[in-house]
Structure formats: C-alpha cells, structure tokens
Amino acid sequence: MKEYVMALDQGTTSSRCILFDKKGNIRAKAQKEYTQHYPKPGWVEHDPKEIWSSQYAVMAEAMALLSEDETIASIGITNQRETAIVWEKETGQPVYNAIVWQCRRTAETIDRLKETEPELYNYIIEKTGLIPDAYFSASKIAWILDHVEGARERAQRGELLFGTVDTWLIYNLTKGKVHVTDYTNASRTMLFDIHTLTWDTRIAEYFKIPMQMLPQVKPSSFVYGYANLGALGEHIPIAGAAGDQQAALFGQCGFRKGDAKNTYGTGCFLLMNTGTEAVSSKSGLLTTIAASCDSPDNRSGDVEYALEGSVFVAGAAIQWLRDGIRLIENAPQTQQMCESVEDTKGVYLVPAFAGLGAPYWNPYARGMMVGMTSGCKREHFVRATLESIAYQTCDLLAAMEKDAGLSLTQVKVDGGASANDFLMQFQADILDSCVLRPKCIETTALGAAYLAGLAVGYWKDKQEIKENWQLAAEFSPCMEQPERQVRKKGWAKAVRAALFWAEDEE
Ligand code: ADP
C-alpha cells in the first residue's frame, strides 16, 4: 500500500483537503467554499455544521482520487484561528453559529475590561502573550453564553463544550469521543497561560467561562484519537493540529530560533521562532506558541514560542489599486509596471486605511500619499503601493529583531503576493536579508501534514522534512546601504505624516 498524509486546511472562506506524499508532493487536492454570515455590520459568523460538512466533502473528494492500493497514514489539521464554537456535549449540536475571528461584536467588552480592570488587562498580556482584543476567543465564548438562552447555566452544569475549529473537527472526526486542542490553538483563546501550559482560572472567571467546557490541551504533533469515517476508512490516527500561521511556519521548516516566515496575503502575517523562550514584546507584537515536536534541537519536548506581527493592508492595497482607484487591471501586472520605472520618484504610500498596527499602533492614522511632483506617473503610484508592503514588513521585522535580540539573515515567504518578483526583490533590498520562496506554496497544509506524519513515524524526524524544502527562487539584497538608508528615511517620514494626520483624533 502506498501511504499519504492528509491535511485538512479549514480556512476562513473555504475548507480544503490535501494529500501529501513523503517528499511533500501533492497527490490529491479538493477545495470547497462555504457560506459567510454577516448578521450585522462588523459581525461575522459561520455555520459549524457547514464547516464540518464542507470539510467532510473535500475529504471524500480527495480520497476518491486515490486508487485501491493507496491509503492514509494520518490526518493533520490546520485552521482559521480564534473562531469560537460552543456545542452540546450529548448531541454535538452547536448552540449558536461559530463566531469568526474577524467579528467585532465584543469590542466593547474588551474596552470595558481595559477601562475598569487595568491590572487584569496587564495580567492577560503577561499570561497569554496577547494584547486583549475581541479578535481572540474568550470574549466570543462569553458572548454566546450571555446571549443564548440558558447557555450559561448549562455550561455550568457541564452540558456544553467549547472549541476552536481544530477541536470541532476532531470532535466530529471521532464521533464525539475526543475533546482536545493543541497548544498553538489554545494560545489564541486568551484563556491559556502560555508559560505553564494550563488554562488560566482567573481569566476564565472574569469571562464567567466554566473550566469544564474547555478542551484538553496537547502538543501539536500527537495522536489525539482515531477517525472512523466508514467508507473513507476506519481508525485513521488524527495526529497533528496547529493554527494556520503556526502551521505555515512549520511547513516552511522554521524549526530553529530566529527562523522567520512572512505570508503575503490580503494582510501579511510574520512569525519568528524564538525557541523555548517566550519573548515578551516591547513593540506591541504578540507572543504565541509555535508548532513543535521532539527533535534533536529540542530534546526536552518543551514547547517553542514565536513572535507574531501582522500588516493589516498588504495584498489589500493591490486590490485597492485594482478595484478602488482602478490604476491596474490585475495584480500580476504590477510586477512589470514596477520594473518599468527606476524608482517611485520620491512618492510614498502609507496604506493606513484602517489605522497602523505594530510597531506604531495608531487606530486613527489614515492612508497617505506623499512626495508627488508633476513627473509622477501611474507606474510610480503602483510601485509606491508595492513598496509599502515591503516597508511595513521591514518595520515589523526590525521590531521583532529588537524584541528577540536576534539578527535575521533570511526570511521565507509564501502567500499570493509572494509570487511578485519585484516585491520580493525590493523586500530583500530593504531588509538587507535574503528572501527565499519555496516551490511548495501550500505551506500551511504542508505544516499540518508534517506534524501529523511525524507523530506516527511517517517521517522520521525534522531533518527528513527539511530535505523536502525546495527553493523556487532566492532574492538577495543588491541595494547599496546609503540608498537603503535614504529610502527608509523617506518611509519613516511618510509614516510620521500619517500619524500627524491622526493627532487631533487621539
Ligand atoms: P488570502 O489568503 O489573504 O486571501 P492569498 O494568499 O490568496 O490571500 O493572496 C491574495 C492577495 O495577493 C491578493 O490581495 C492579491 O492582490 C495579491 N496577489 C496575488 N497575486 C499577486 C501578484 N502576482 N502580485 C502582487 N500581488 C498579488
């Protein structure tokens, strides 16, 4: 029998299933979009049953592509993080829709926490590594318990269970036998002490979340239980789970302290492995648990940590060029346009459309285009937009290097906009570091597969996995230092202008 590892990639807009072979090649793949519910402005929900049914459908579709002598060695899960689901222990029926990470309905709860409980606010930062926000699961669970009739009492009686999407999928895959999550997903709930690796009773009490509804927490590479899927197969080990960004870092073989990956999607997600030390940030970055497993680098089996930062507007700025101000027809065309001019002619765009995140943290900052002269053409605007993605990443990485006391020599990249050679070269130039783009850009699913395969011996160790990582393109810095400094100075000035614009609002 030929064996594969199955990755279930449960994303915000679609459920996917990818089967990988030993070399990390894709044997089969299926994807299904599912419904987004927007009951009110700023609210986002998913139907947990549709999450499960779409995931099951793509599993069946991918398995159908296998022949009779091919089978599945284990299943790994990677998922949209922070999204909260509450269901009945007895029946497996959700009591409410999944409240999605993007949903802002509990923003006021967090504002109140900040105003009335400053000491607890700081306690949460220290214990969970997160800056309290409606984005994380805790306030979403509390909302469900407050708004679904009888839910709070039922939870107290032990009749309801909470889970992030990994937990929900494992629960369904095991037909209700296993209620478990992994460290990386737990670390995004805002209820988990990332230092002691236990649920924090004080935070749970504040949100009135009964401890018995929280899942058991296990390593990311671990046999949680077995999937019994009838015609699709019986007794398949479910052996890996990690939140999407942590899975991507693992899929990029970011195993060692100082390894970093940046995903260029709608926004950018930058994660840097900080080894077994949980580095607390002085620049507003998040401290989170990285996916890890026993290895010669980490024999103790201790968990590993990462610093995480995000750029709110990255690929979204390119979409804005296309759909908003209609300077371009499609995203790939920007590469040629940018390369057709030597520079931006002194133009900078700060795409602070929704404020500025780390390391500036100013919600009132707004988009700014500065430095125009009459010689500016469309191409200069487009180039300034792409360059802004690289500058924002550079600011985040500088903050990470400072927090962690590490100096980076290379960054691995993935995500839609990493296909743009101009952007990647400019990124290398501005960072003064090499930018490495792998052949397999399905790094998130691959990370989940690796975690699941390692737990059952499909792959021997991380070294074997590293040999699978293949370079598609390497971008080395070729900008002279004085030029780099001039450009970065210009960017810093443009950011100051965007912050100055916000001054009266604070
Ligand atoms: P997400 O998972 O956030 O939807 P993807 O990883 O699919 O994002 O990437 C999509 C983003 O990448 C879009 O914002 C799009 O504008 C951008 N993008 C896709 N291809 C290119 C390209 N060749 N050059 C620049 N940007 C691109």
pLDDT of residue 349: 97
Position in ligand 1 atom list of the atom nearest CA 414? 6
pLDDT of residue 300: 57
* Pocket probe mutation, ligand 1, options 12, 80, 101, 266, max atoms within 8 Å of Cβ: 266
Distance 272 CA to ligand 1 centre (A): 22
Question: Which residues are near ligand 1 (CB < 6 Å)?
Answer: 265-266, 315-316, 318-319, 331-332, 334, 415-417, 419-420
CA angle 383–484–426, rounded 5-degree value? 40
Residue 299 has pLDDT above 80, yes or no: no
Distance 326 CA to ligand 1 centre (A): 16
Distance 43 CA to ligand 1 centre (A): 24
Distance 418 CA to ligand 1 centre (A): 8
Above pLDDT 70, what percent of the chain?
Answer: 98
Residue 294 has pLDDT above 80, yes or no: no
pLDDT of residue 441: 80
Where do runs of H (alpha helix) occur along 303-442?
315-319, 333-339, 378-404, 421-431
Position in ligand 1 atom list of the atom nearest CA 415? 6
What's the alpha-carbon Rg for the chain, to the nearest Å?
A: 23
Position in ligand 1 atom list of the atom nearest CA 332? 23
When pLDDT is cut at 50, 70 and 90, the band that residue 293 belongs to is: confident
Residue 297 has pLDDT above 70, yes or no: no
Region 314-323 average pLDDT:
92
Write the residue with the smallest CA distance to atom 15 of ligand 1. 315
pLDDT of residue 12: 87
Instruction: Give the CA distances from residue 36 to residues 67, 444, 475, in Å, rounded to whole numbers and listed in that order.
Output: 34, 22, 38
Which among 198, 195, 203 has a CA at the least distance from the CA of 217?
198
Position in ligand 1 atom list of the atom nearest CA 264? 6
Burial class of 210 by CB neighbour count within 10 A (0 to 12, 13 to 18, 19+): middle
CA 463 to chain centre: 24
Distance 46 CA to ligand 1 centre (A): 23
Distance 392 CA to ligand 1 centre (A): 16
Residue 295 has pLDDT above 70, yes or no: no
> pLDDT (tens digit, 9 = 90+) per residue, 85-110?
999 999 999 999 999 998 889 989 99
Region 335-343 average pLDDT:
97
Residue 458 has pLDDT above 70, yes or no: yes
Residue 296 has pLDDT above 60, yes or no: no
> pLDDT (tens digit, 9 = 90+) per residue, 165-181?
999 999 999 999 999 99
Tokens linked to 405: 């006391």
**Lowest-confidence range among 147-151, 158-162, 499-503?**
499-503
pLDDT of residue 158: 96
Distance 246 CA to ligand 1 centre (A): 20
Output the average pLDDT for the chain.
93
Distance 416 CA to ligand 1 centre (A): 4
Q: Decide: pTM greater than 0.85.
A: yes
Q: Which amino acid does the sequence have at 306? A: A
Distance 480 CA to ligand 1 centre (A): 29
**Lowest-confidence range among 103-117, 126-140, 299-313?**
299-313
Write the residue with the smallest CA distance to atom 14 of ligand 1. 315
pLDDT of residue 102: 85
> What would the 3-class secondary structure string for 202-251 be?
HHHHHCCCCHHHCCEEECCEEEEEEECCHHHCCCEEEEEEEEHHHHHHHH
Q: Phi, psi (5° rounding) for residue 387?
A: -60, -30
Distance 237 CA to ligand 1 centre (A): 34
Write the residue with the smallest CA distance to atom 8 of ligand 1. 265
Write the residue with the smallest CA distance to atom 27 of ligand 1. 417
Region 469-478 average pLDDT:
94
Q: Which amino acid does the sequence have at 292? A: S
Region 241-248 average pLDDT:
96
User: What is the C-alpha to C-alpha distance for residues 115 and 44, in angstroms, rounded to an integer?
Assistant: 26
**Lowest-confidence range among 156-160, 264-268, 453-457?**
264-268
Write the residue with the smallest CA distance to atom 9 of ligand 1. 416
* Pocket probe mutation, ligand 1, options 264, 383, 388, max atoms within 8 Å of Cβ: 264
Distance 319 CA to ligand 1 centre (A): 8
Region 37-44 average pLDDT:
88
User: What is the C-alpha to C-alpha distance for residues 212 and 194, in angstroms, rounded to an integer?
Assistant: 19
Distance 332 CA to ligand 1 centre (A): 9
When pLDDT is cut at 50, 70 and 90, the band that residue 230 belongs to is: confident
Query: Which residues is 99 bridged to in the sheet?
Result: 45, 84
* Pocket probe mutation, ligand 1, options 310, 420, 422, 423, max atoms within 8 Å of Cβ: 420
Write the residue with the smallest CA distance to atom 13 of ligand 1. 315
pLDDT of residue 369: 94
Burial class of 241 by CB neighbour count within 10 A (0 to 12, 13 to 18, 19+): buried
DSSP structure string for 27-90: EEEEEEE---B-SSTT--EE-HHHHHHHHHHHHHHHHTTS-TTEEEEEEEEEE-SS-BEEEETT
Dihedral, CA atoms, 6, 11, 13, 16, nearest 10 degrees? 0
Above pLDDT 90, what percent of the chain?
Answer: 79
Position in ligand 1 atom list of the atom nearest CA 315? 14
pLDDT of residue 364: 79
Distance 440 CA to ligand 1 centre (A): 16
Residue 504 has pLDDT above 80, yes or no: no
When pLDDT is cut at 50, 70 and 90, the band that residue 267 belongs to is: confident
